[in-house]
């Protein structure tokens, strides 16, 4: 399945049905009078967040959504049936944006089953029975029905995850998410192996949380270099960021700073999020070099540095413990003293 996180669609609610012009024609009623019913209301446009969807690819092939109009009124004061509502199913985390220069936010669907009426259908027109007065006993006018609303909107998907992985290309993010979750991200020894965000569900010590892996950032990503920074929107909702730095880079401090600068350039308060800094691929280094690189990275980042290897599994358990703590998911049965002891274990290597 192809991944698509934004799409432009046209939506239109249903028009109201016209009112009827009708008169009673009963055998023994000399003055029957008007009995035209009102038209039915047009269908609404409703957006609904549903589980099981993680892409907007369907909206690439179907871009126009129009609800049906109301049924016309009929004689014997019969009101027309309302047009059925058109429910547009979208993934959880979808935002509806106006088609203007600022792309202003109109709605944000963040919970399963959440729905709202986005465009209301037009009201039905009045039948001639409703125009009857003491001076107008046989009206022939009727209402044609009110038109529905229509507009172009943008749909933008921001995946919902508890933790987000950031780093340069080939920092080992895909290997890490494959090792700790049910994700099956592509792994390759070349830049930009990951071309679209990946979600994985991590089960650790009786808890489950979602990790998002986004394509790697390079210097100038905010200006469109590499795959750009358009996928950073998928980690805006994350509670914590896991920043992976490749231990084999020529300068681990520079590698860290490049990514942080791009996060700052993107905005959305990403640099203000809680971050865990980890030196990855340490299985290729000796303990002395690991300690030296960790100290260098800690000085640049201002955070304790954890050492791990997604390939061998070294240090992964400790990182998952820290992610649980940052997300706010304590271990089952753990008390405050246990949490304090766990916190004291986190120190630079």
DSSP state for residue 124 in the 8-state scheme:
P
- Three-state DSSP at 102 gives coil
Dihedral sign (CA 258, 259, 260, 264): positive
- Three-state DSSP at 165 gives strand
210 is in an annotated binding site: no
CB atoms within 10 A of CB 335: 9
Q: What are the two backbone dihedrals, phi and then psi, of residue 279, each rounded to the nearest 5 degrees? A: -90, 115
List Cα–Cα distances, 341 to 34, 191, 294, 324, 325, in angstroms: 84, 39, 22, 15, 12
DSSP string, 22-49: -B---TT-S---B-PPPPPPPPPEEEEE
47 is in an annotated binding site: no
Distance CA 241, CA 246 (A): 16
128 is in an annotated binding site: no
171 is in an annotated binding site: yes
54 is in an annotated binding site: no
Structure-block tokens of residue 107? 């709605």
Structure-block tokens of residue 301? 């980042």
- Measured at the CA of 342, the angle between CA 340 and CA 343, to 5 degrees, comes to 65
309 is in an annotated binding site: yes
- Measured at the CA of 19, the angle between CA 14 and CA 21, to 5 degrees, comes to 155
Residue 282, CA atoms < 13 Å, CB-side half-sphere:
25
254 is in an annotated binding site: no
Assess contact for 180 and 200: CB atoms under 8 A. Answer: yes
3 is in an annotated binding site: no
Q: What are the two backbone dihedrals, phi and then psi, of residue 138, each rounded to the nearest 5 degrees? A: -135, 65
4 is in an annotated binding site: no
169 is in an annotated binding site: yes
277 is in an annotated binding site: no
280 is in an annotated binding site: yes
216 is in an annotated binding site: yes
248 is in an annotated binding site: no
17 is in an annotated binding site: no
170 is in an annotated binding site: yes
194 is in an annotated binding site: yes
120: nearest Cα among 11, 3, 239: 11
CB atoms within 10 A of CB 191: 14
113 is in an annotated binding site: no
38 is in an annotated binding site: no
239 is in an annotated binding site: no
Structure-block tokens of residue 106? 């109109």
Residue numbering of the annotated binding site for Mg(2+): 174, 194
Residue numbering of the annotated binding site for GTP: 167-174, 192-196, 213-216, 280-283, 309-311
Residue numbering of the annotated binding site: 167-174, 192-196, 213-216, 280-283, 309-311
């Amino acid at each position: 399945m192809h991944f698509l996180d934004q799409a432009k669609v046209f939506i239109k609610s249903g028009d109201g049905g016209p009112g009827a012009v009708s008169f009673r024609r009963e055998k023994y009623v000399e003055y029957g009078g008007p009995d035209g019913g009102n038209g039915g209301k047009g269908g609404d446009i409703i957006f609904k967040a549903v589980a099981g969807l993680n892409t907007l690819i369907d909206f690439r092939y179907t871009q126009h959504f129009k609800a049906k109009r109301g049924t016309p009124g009929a004689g014997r004061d019969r009101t027309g049936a309302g047009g059925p509502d058109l429910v547009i199913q979208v993934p959880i985390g979808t935002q509806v944006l106006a088609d203007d220069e600022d792309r202003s936010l109109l709605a944000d669907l963040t919970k399963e089953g959440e729905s709202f009426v986005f465009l209301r259908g037009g009201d039905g027109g009045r039948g001639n029975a409703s125009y009857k007065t003491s001076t107008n006993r046989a009206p022939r006018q009727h209402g044609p029905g009110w038109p529905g609303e229509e507009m172009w909107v943008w749909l933008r998907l921001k995946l919902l995850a508890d933790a987000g992985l950031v780093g340069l290309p080939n920092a080992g993010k895909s290997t890490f998410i494959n090792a700790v979750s049910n994700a099956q991200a592509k792994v390759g020894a070349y830049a930009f192996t990951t071309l679209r965000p990946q979600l994985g569900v991590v089960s650790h010590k009786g808890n489950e949380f979602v990790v998002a892996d986004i394509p790697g950032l390079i210097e100038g990503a905010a200006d469109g270099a590499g795959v750009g920074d358009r996928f950073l929107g998928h980690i805006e909702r994350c509670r914590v960021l896991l920043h992976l730095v490749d231990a084999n880079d020529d300068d681990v401090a520079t590698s860290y700073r490049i990514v942080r600068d791009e996060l700052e350039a993107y905005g959305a308060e990403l640099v203000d999020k809680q971050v865990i800094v980890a030196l990855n691929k340490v299985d290729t280094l000796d303990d002395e070099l690991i300690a030296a690189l960790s100290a260098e990275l800690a000085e640049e980042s201002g955070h304790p540095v954890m050492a791990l290897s997604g390939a061998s599994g070294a240090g992964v358990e400790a990182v998952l413990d820290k992610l649980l703590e940052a997300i706010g998911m304590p271990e089952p049965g753990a008390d405050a003293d246990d949490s304090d002891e766990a916190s004291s274990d986190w120190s630079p290597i």
